[in-house]
Structure 1
Amino acid sequence: MILKNKPISVGSLKRLALVIPVVVSAAFTAPYAHAIETAAKQAYLVDMETGAVLLDKKGNELMPPASMSKLMTATMVFERLKEGSLKLDDTFPVSERAWRKGGSKMFVEVNSRVSVSDLLRGIIVQSGNDACIVVAEALAGSEEEFARNMTEHARTIGLEQSTFANATGWPDPNHLMTPHELAELAEYIIRNFPDYYEIFAEKSFKYGKIKQGNRNPLLYDNGGGDGLKTGHTEESGYGLVGSAERDGRRLILVVNGLENAKSRGREAERLLEWGFREFGNYELFTAGQEVAEARVWLGAKDLVPLAVEKDLTVTMSRKDRRSMQVKLVYNEPIPAPILQGTPVARLVISAPDMDSIEVPLVATENIERPGMFRRVTSAIKYVLFGASAN
């Protein structure tokens, strides 16, 4: 058999490109890992649609997440709201322990009751440690048990390294997350709780007589930022889990270890701007769209049409897009019978500065074996004249 390695022109891709983007793969993350320098100790930038990692600086390194871990605290509430065991107008009691907690506060009153709606805003907008403890004690009986529940839930949603020791992000040697998993958690929230995600874009919240502004700098720069959460402790430095959307494309950014709030805001804006400017999402094929044809060995038809199973959108640098190559790879000829939907070839997308992306191609129709006479004559032609005679 012959290994067929056939280029498909970029011009053909332009004619075939359609408009429904779907996640395919992020097999090309490594080449962009240090494409831009950053003052952050840890940084991770990902395209949410395709999963392509544009920047990875210690993305899988465990670090103190500070208040960025309040995203998991909020997620525990979102899950209960979604399943219906909790309502926004339900109220929780404020213990003395919650009331006395230091750090950033919502300023709840001891022995009062606070609605879930207000507590969520106290956690997300005001970063209130007191609000986190109120929620933890109400949902799990104690903050310690709630933290154990947070770690267990992290595993169920695919966060394999994160461990939680409290509901607030208060410094603790057992309270750790990676930038990668913070980005995954942000994506989980955006995809699964769109109605509650809107809270992250609220610029201020007033509880009682105290109004506090959201510390997220991305909400104020007109760059499409609409979430998610800042964090700061002496140990972790200044950090941010941020997300921005422009023209239907969403990036998620995690930075940590910056020196002050000003540098956090400046660096987050700069990295997001770089991601939107230097990279694009390119829609190549739609599900079921014929990409090419492959030759068939001893089949009722000489050619079988090939298609991608899912809509294919890839993220790459705009420079790489200009030199992108697309090749069809398969063992020629493919022996009949061929069952519709069977993977029989690969589409390989490559460019100089990125890892190749490989996408399976499936047969779009059944190809049966012909009668004995046709099989014999086809075999003789192949022996005498090769694949071109088939």
Structure 2
Amino acid sequence: MFVRLIPVLFCLFIGLTPSSYAANSVPELPQLGASQYLLVDFLSGTELAAKDPDKRIEPASITKLMTAYVLYQELEKGNIKVEDRVLVSEKAWKMEGSRMFLEAGKKVPLERMINGLIIQSGNDAAVALSEHTSGSEENFVRKMNANAQRLDMTNTNFVNVTGWPNPRHYMSARDIVTLTRAVINEYPEHYKMYSQKEYSYNGIKQYNRNKLLWHDDTVDGVKTGHTESAGYCLLSSAQRGSMRLISVVLGAESDKTRSNYSQQLLEYGFRFYETHKLYDANSVLTEARVWKGTKPSVPTGIIEDFYVTIPKGNYSQLKGLMEINKSIDAPVKRGDVIGMAVIKDLDRIVLQKPLVAMDSVDTGGTWTNITDSVKKLFVE
């Protein structure tokens, strides 16, 4: 059973005031010609526009975002170092598609090779780095899939580190956004590399294929992809003020259209939506009754920063309520979910976050157990 606090009280508690005005409407996004697309607010995770976001597709070189993510983990663990010199194998040298033109048998500083992986989308760099890190590309791919599973990327499976076409190699637009949020959240210093427009290696200057980096100075990433079977794909992110958006466009017909569609998505999100922070992580929102415990209640709150994304002008119309389990028996451990915080824009649920115990409560003695058992009968 859940007990609902009066919405107005919760609105006052979070600094919002209810309003009788109608919610501002958001115009529909014009139809885009891409096979799939998705627009998401980075901070709140709210989806603002979507077309088949869970469909499994060939991600092409967007795959290399996971390749880089695993490399960042290995650097953080100390298993590899930027000063390492990476041997270029025959397999890496023979890779087709986009390359940074590595030479077989040469040893190249790992840091330079990561730059080539990200900016030039080098297939040769991806293979060489995977072999250096894990002994073989196959071993490295196991780490990629393990991370996909950990991040709950349910429509993703990798068979290589480059995105080379394979029927068993796929991602979805939603999974791509999940991975992008993880990269930006966990490795913000490494993420800065995705905004670099050009890179030279072996006397050859190559340019980042993300054309939005030249057209919109708020765009700072992320990754392009293209094969004949996948079409033209573009994963983009832009920040204006404190608001960051992530867009994914898959299966566009040309380099130009993938850029145009991505720009349309970003403009749509920034034009019609706004994001607000309601609470800091580990904020206590209320107390929850605990039965048969050493304490009669436990502080209750949220463990992550709480953001909400809404149509512009609707902030004053938000209502909040808390749904608290009224049958909580000790013991309670810190982090146990005991309710939900719900934010509504008039009658539409905008966002829900788990309410968790911010402390632990042990089981009480015999007398407490008896008296609380009786009291509990009158509230259920």
TM range (shorter): 0.7 to 0.9
What is the number of residues matched between the two proteins? 349
Partner of 2:125: 131
Which of 221, 231, 240 is equivalent to 1:246?
Answer: 240
Instruction: Tell me: CA distance 1:216–1:13, structure 2 relative to 1, closer, same or farther (3 Å).
Output: farther
Using the alignment, how far apart are the partners of 1:204 and 1:4 within structure 2?
A: 55
What is the identity, as a one-letter code, of the residue corresponding to 1:218?
L
Where in structure 1 are there 5+ consecutive unaligned residues? 18-30, 295-303, 367-390
Map Cα deviations across residues 240-264 of structure 1 (whole Å, 9 max, x no partner): 1111122122222211010101111
What is the identity, as a one-letter code, of the residue corresponding to 2:224?
T
Partner of 2:73: 79
Map Cα deviations across residues 99-158 of structure 1 (whole Å, 9 max, x no partner): 222111101112111111111111110011111121122223333343333223322343
SS at match of 1:154: helix
What is the identity, as a one-letter code, of the residue corresponding to 2:110?
V
Which of 206, 213, 220 is equivalent to 2:207?
Answer: 213
What is the identity, as a one-letter code, of the residue corresponding to 2:184?
I
Instruction: Tell me: CA distance 1:143–1:151, structure 2 relative to 1, closer, same or farther (3 Å).
Output: same
Using the alignment, how far apart are the partners of 2:135 and 2:277 within structure 1?
A: 49
What is the identity, as a one-letter code, of the residue corresponding to 1:8?
V
Instruction: Tell me: CA distance 1:59–1:359, structure 2 relative to 1, closer, same or farther (3 Å).
Output: closer
What is the identity, as a one-letter code, of the residue corresponding to 2:63?
S
Partner of 1:6: 6
Q: Which has the larger radius of gyration?
A: 1
Partner of 1:258: 252
SS at match of 1:8: helix
Instruction: Tell me: CA distance 1:115–1:352, structure 2 relative to 1, closer, same or farther (3 Å).
Output: same
Mapping for residues 44-63 of structure 1, pairs under 5 Å: 44-63=38-57
Using the alignment, how far apart are the partners of 1:207 and 1:221 within structure 2?
A: 25
What is the identity, as a one-letter code, of the residue corresponding to 1:161?
N
What is the identity, as a one-letter code, of the residue corresponding to 1:243?
S
Partner of 1:187: 181
Using the alignment, how far apart are the partners of 1:224 and 1:117 within structure 2?
A: 26
What is the identity, as a one-letter code, of the residue corresponding to 1:60?
D
What is the identity, as a one-letter code, of the residue corresponding to 1:256?
L
What is the identity, as a one-letter code, of the residue corresponding to 1:210?
I
What is the identity, as a one-letter code, of the residue corresponding to 1:43?
Y
Partner of 1:39: 33
Shift of 1:82: 0.8
Q: Does 1:237 align with 2:231?
A: yes
Map Cα deviations across residues 167-213 of structure 1 (whole Å, 9 max, x no partner): 11111111111111111111111122222212111111000110001
Instruction: Tell me: CA distance 1:345–1:161, structure 2 relative to 1, closer, same or farther (3 Å).
Output: closer
Instruction: Tell me: CA distance 1:231–1:5, structure 2 relative to 1, closer, same or farther (3 Å).
Output: same
Mapping for residues 169-318 of structure 1, pairs under 5 Å: 169-285=163-279, 308-309=301-302, 312-318=306-312
Partner of 1:380: none
What is the identity, as a one-letter code, of the residue corresponding to 1:189?
V
Where in structure 2 are there 5+ consecutive unaligned residues? 18-24, 289-296, 362-380
- Percent identity between the aligned chains? 35
Q: Does 1:163 align with 2:153?
A: no
What is the identity, as a one-letter code, of the residue corresponding to 1:230?
T
Question: Which moves more between the two structures, 252-261 or 133-142?
Answer: 133-142
SS at match of 2:43: coil
Aligned 8 A contact 1:286 1:308 in 2 = no
Aligned 8 A contact 1:73 1:132 in 2 = yes
Shift of 1:35: 5.2
- Please report the TM-score for the alignment, with normalisation by the length of structure 1: 0.75
Aligned 8 A contact 1:48 1:251 in 2 = yes
Using the alignment, how far apart are the partners of 1:166 and 1:217 within structure 2?
A: 26
Partner of 2:370: none
What is the identity, as a one-letter code, of the residue corresponding to 1:79?
Q
Using the alignment, how far apart are the partners of 2:96 and 2:339 within structure 1?
A: 61
Instruction: Tell me: CA distance 1:345–1:87, structure 2 relative to 1, closer, same or farther (3 Å).
Output: closer
Instruction: Tell me: CA distance 1:68–1:353, structure 2 relative to 1, closer, same or farther (3 Å).
Output: farther
Partner of 1:388: none
Using the alignment, how far apart are the partners of 1:330 and 1:145 within structure 2?
A: 46
Map Cα deviations across residues 215-238 of structure 1 (whole Å, 9 max, x no partner): 112322234111111000111111
Mapping for residues 321-360 of structure 1, pairs under 5 Å: 321=315, 323-327=317-321, 348-351=342-345, 354-358=348-352
Tell me the C-alpha RMSD between the 2 structures: 4.0
Instruction: Tell me: CA distance 1:312–1:149, structure 2 relative to 1, closer, same or farther (3 Å).
Output: closer
Using the alignment, how far apart are the partners of 1:232 and 1:5 within structure 2?
A: 52
Instruction: Tell me: CA distance 1:190–1:364, structure 2 relative to 1, closer, same or farther (3 Å).
Output: closer
SS at match of 1:127: coil
Aligned 8 A contact 2:16 2:319 in 1 = no
Shift of 1:309: 4.2
SS at match of 2:6: strand
Shift of 1:357: 3.7
Shift of 1:292: 8.6
Map Cα deviations across residues 31-54 of structure 1 (whole Å, 9 max, x no partner): 99x755322211122112112121
